Amino acid sequence: MTFPELDTPTEFSPDNFLGSFFRTAKAVLFSPRLFYENMRTEGGLRNPLIFLVCCVLIHTLLISLLVKNQTIVFRNITLGIGMPFLTAGIFFLIITRLFKAPGTYEAAFRVTAYAAALHLFSWIPIRWVLVLVEFYRLYLFAVGLGYAFSIRVSRAGLAVVIAVITYAVLGSILGYILIGSQAPTPNP
C-alpha cells in the first residue's frame, strides 16, 4: 500500500521544514518499509540529526508539561540526542563485523535518527503505550537496518536483539560500578 504523498522524497529537508518534518514522521511511523527502502544511506548526518533533535525537543517539551522535575527534562534531552549516536555505533559494529555486511556508520545513524519519530508518542504517560512504542522502535530499527545494510530483516532483527543484550550487560556493569560496589553488605 502506497500513499501518494510518499511518492515524493521522504527524507527530511530543512528547506521545507514543517511540511518535510510531518511528511517524514508520517512515513516513518505509518509506512516504515517504504520509507527505509527509499532512504538514502549517504548524504551527511545534518538532516537526520535536525529531525532527531526536533523530535526530542517536542518530546521534552511535552514531558516538561507533565513533570516539573528539571533533571528529568535535562536527561530526556541528553539521552534523546546522545543515545542514537551510540546505538548507531553498536548496530554498525554488529552488522559490519559480526555479519560481515557492507555499510557505513552514517547509514546506521540515519536509521536510528529517523526512528526518533516515535518520540512524538513516547511522552504519553500510559505504561502499555510506552511498551508498545519501545517494541515498535525495535521493529523500526530492524526494518531500517535491513534496507540500509541490504541484509534480511531477520538478520537485522538479530542485530537489534544483540544490541539490546549489549545495553543490558553494559547497564548492569555500570550499575554495579556506580551503585553496587557502594551498597552496604549485610552482616552474616
CA 172 vs. chain centroid, Å, equals: 21
Q: Which helix (H) or strand (E) holds 114?
A: helix 105-114
Mean pLDDT over each residue of the chain, to the nearest integer: 86
Q: What average pLDDT does this structure show over 108-118?
A: 94
Least confident of 8-22, 55-69, 146-160, 165-179: 8-22
Indicate left, alpha or beta for 44 from its phi (over 0: left) and psi (-120 to 50: alpha).
left
pLDDT single digits (tens) 72-98 = 888 888 999 999 999 999 999 999 999
* CB contact at 8 A, 147 and 157: no
Range with the poorest average pLDDT among 17-21, 36-40, 122-126, 138-142: 122-126
pLDDT tens-digit readout, 158-187: 999 999 999 999 988 888 888 865 655 566
* Mean pLDDT on 110-125: 89
**Exposed, middle or buried: residue 47 (CB in 10 Å: 0-12, 13-18, 19+)?**
buried
